[in-house]
Amino acid sequence: MTSDFDEISSVHSLTIQKISLNKSALVTADVVATEKPLEIVLVWREAEKWQQKSLSVTMRTPGHDEELALGFLFSEGLLLNRSEVQNVRVSPLINKVYVEVFPIVAERSERLQRHFYTTSSCGVCGKASLEAVQQKTRYAIPGETPILSQETLYQLPQTLRKAQATFDQTGGLHASGLFDVQGNLQVLREDVGRHNALDKIIGYSLNTNDLPLSHNILLLSGRISFELVQKAVMAGIPFIAAIGAPSSLAVSLAREHNLTLIGFLRDSHANVYCGAERLA
């Protein structure tokens, strides 16, 4: 991976006024989470000429842009494995990432029924139809693993929260954390878009050749949307827990693909919507 710039900050400094009842306004420095567009561009060589195609513009927090692009392409069914990618060039100064692929990947992109525009609040917006969202996953979710103790489950939110460095500064980011069955945090990603944070984890796992993630636990800092379950299915993740609530479609998709789905994981309490057999 090559880059035009070493790092773009995930936080933005500014001056604000703090106000309180019956007190004078206080001018002070503050930081907010950075939100910038990222354009994902496919590049390939065909008939001795270089071709390129803009696939998506997503609002994201800068950082781990290569992972975001790779995770997005994989969870959309465009990439089958890392070997289909020849090079990734991140250009954060112009908010673009160029993914150089083999022509077969470009051919797959023509078959996708999707208007490739997403926002930080809704990664599924623009889907042409519900059927187009339900990509065919390469990985079957195993029925017997992982087995997680309730004691370990209740410790996951605290572990995730302690690792959320950018959230501590801004209070304005979603997080996705990948754990093993012993409750050890394997990788954490934060982003203004909850689907971006998960794409970054999937892209990381694609780079490290760890897919499928069939022995891992995914913890989400917010609610569980349909598309987050879809991405987990594509990555072979059998167990999703979240601090927030799932949607009806998220529960339906989790049941269809034999996932364990847990919501409202707080203070040693949780709701198990399906897959209770994976809890010891």
Dihedral angle over CA of 169, 207, 73, 78, nearest 10:
-170
- Starting at the edge strand found earlier in the chain, the sheet holding 269-274 runs 185-191, 174-179, 217-220, 239-242, 260-266, 269-274
Kindly tell me if the per-residue pLDDT of 170 is higher than 90. no
pTM of the model: 0.88
Domains defined for the chain, CATH in brackets: 36-133 (3.10.20.10), 150-278 (3.40.140.10)
Taking the CB of residue 138, how many other CB atoms lie within 10 A of it?
14
Q: Say what the pLDDT of residue 172 is.
A: 66
What's the one-letter identity of residue 162?
A: K
Coil vs helix vs strand at 219: strand
Taking the CB of residue 116, how many other CB atoms lie within 10 A of it?
17
Kindly tell me if the per-residue pLDDT of 7 is higher than 50. no
Coil vs helix vs strand at 16: strand
Three-state SS for 124-187 is CCCECCHHHHCCCCCCCCCCCCCCECHHHHHHHHHHHHHHCHHHHHHCCCEEEEEECCCCCEEE
**150 token code pair:** 């309730």
Helix axes 226-234, 194-207, angle to 10 degrees: 0
Angstrom distance (rounded) from CA 242 to CA 263: 5
Q: What is the mean pLDDT of the chain?
A: 87
Kindly tell me if the per-residue pLDDT of 30 is higher than 90. no
Q: Say what the pLDDT of residue 137 is.
A: 80
Question: For residue range 79-102, what is the model confidence (pLDDT) as tens digits?
Answer: 999 999 999 999 988 999 999 999
Which one is predicted more confidently, 33 or 242? 242
Q: How far is CA 181 from CA 11, 55, 98, in A?
A: 32, 36, 35
Coil vs helix vs strand at 200: helix
Kindly tell me if the per-residue pLDDT of 129 is higher than 50. no
Question: For residue range 192-222, what is the model confidence (pLDDT) as tens digits?
Answer: 999 999 999 999 999 999 999 999 999 999 9
What value does the mean pLDDT take over residues 226-254? 95
User: By percentage, how much of the chain surpasses pLDDT 70?
Assistant: 85
Residues with a catalytic annotation lie at: 122
Kindly tell me if the per-residue pLDDT of 157 is higher than 90. yes
